[in-house]
Amino acid sequence: INQSHLSEIINQRPPALRIETLQVKYHGIFPFGSMRQVRSEFGRTEVIDNTRNPDFVRKFVLDFFFEEKQNLRFDVYNVDSRSCNISKHDFLGQTFCTLGEIIGSTGGRLEKTLSGIPGKKCGAIIFTAEELSNCRDIATMQLCANKLDKKDFFGKSDPFLVFYRSNEDGTFTICHKTEVIKNTLNPVWQPFTIPVRALCNGDYDRTVKVDVYDWDRDGSHDFIGEFTTSYRELSRGQNQFNVYEVRHDTGAVTLLSFKVESEYTFPTSLHYMSPYQMNAYAMALKAVGEIIQDYDSDKLFPAYGFGAKLPPDGKISHAFPLSGDNENPNCVGIEGVLEAYFQSLRTVQLYGPTNFAPVINKVANCAAEITDGSQYFVLLMITDGVISDMVQTKEAVVNAASLPLSIIIVGVGPAEFDAMEELDGDEVRVSSRGRFAERDIVQFVPFRDYIDRSGNQVLSMARLAKDVLAEIPDQLLSFMKSGGVEPRPALSSSPLPELHRHI
pLDDT in 10s for each residue of the chain, 503 residues: 444 444 333 233 322 222 233 333 333 333 333 334 456 777 888 888 888 888 887 878 777 776 677 888 999 999 888 787 888 889 999 999 988 889 888 878 899 999 999 999 999 999 988 776 656 678 899 999 999 988 767 778 899 999 999 887 778 989 999 999 999 999 999 999 898 888 988 788 889 999 999 998 888 899 999 999 999 899 888 887 789 998 766 799 999 999 887 543 344 567 766 666 778 888 888 888 888 888 888 889 999 999 888 887 788 899 999 998 989 999 999 999 999 998 888 888 887 788 999 999 999 999 999 988 889 999 999 988 678 899 999 999 999 999 999 999 988 877 777 778 788 877 788 999 999 999 999 998 888 887 765 556 666 778 888 888 888 889 999 999 988 888 776 555 444 444 444 44
- 64 and 109 co-located in one domain: yes
**Which structural domain, as residue segments, surrounds residue 57?**
3-128
The answer to the question of residue 109 being in a domain is yes
The answer to the question of residue 501 being in a domain is no
Distance CA 133, CA 2 (A): 13
- 145 and 122 co-located in one domain: no
* Phi, psi (degrees; rounded to nearest 5) at 320: -115, 140
What DSSP character marks residue 344?
A: H
* Count of the separate structural domains present in the chain: 3
Distance CA 121, CA 8 (A): 9
- 97 and 148 co-located in one domain: no
- 431 and 465 co-located in one domain: yes
Contacts (Cβ under 8 Å, ≥6 apart) of 113? 9, 95, 122, 123, 124
The answer to the question of residue 247 being in a domain is yes
The answer to the question of residue 271 being in a domain is no
- 407 and 430 co-located in one domain: yes
- 341 and 377 co-located in one domain: yes
270 SS3 class: coil
Residue finishing a domain among 242, 265, 288: 265
- 20 and 150 co-located in one domain: no
- 169 and 304 co-located in one domain: no
- 98 and 144 co-located in one domain: no
